[in-house]
Amino acid sequence: MATDCPRCELHFERIEGHWLGAIGINTVLSFGLLLIALVAGLIVTFPDFPLATLVTINVSVAVFAPLLLWPVSRTLWTAIDIAMRPLQPGECRLAPTEDGGHL
């Protein structure tokens, strides 16, 4: 994933440690998908659980979900961060300038 937005040139890591929020969101989403896969697998295969198949599916979800969700969680965390700490003048091309306008 790019370090800066190609459209407005916003640097995604606005402060030191910014990525910790994205890791938190990624963990929650990944565990949520893993829980859904586990419960759905148990419901679909009830009462005879094919253990090897369920383990393979859930390990695959546990490995690939965080990798696939990383750009989404990073973007979502940046949006939450901007909502909590509005853009400062000069932080990106669309940020408000000191006189109240936009660049």
Residue 12 lies in a domain: no
CB-based contact 96:44 (threshold 8 Å)? no
Query: CB-side exposure of 16: number of CA atoms within 13 Å?
Result: 0
pLDDT of residue 38: 97
Number of domains in the chain: 1
102 strand-pairing partners:
96
Residue 1 lies in a domain: no
Average pLDDT over residues 15-36: 94
Residue 52 lies in a domain: yes
Domain encompassing residue 62 = 19-84
pLDDT of residue 46: 94
Residue 80 lies in a domain: yes
Q: Is the pLDDT reported for residue 4 higher than 90?
A: no
Q: Is the pLDDT reported for residue 11 higher than 90?
A: no
CB-based contact 74:66 (threshold 8 Å)? no
CB-based contact 21:77 (threshold 8 Å)? yes
Residue 30 lies in a domain: yes
**Dihedral sign of CA atoms 64, 68, 69, 71 in order:** positive
Q: Is the pLDDT reported for residue 16 higher than 80?
A: yes
pLDDT of residue 49: 93
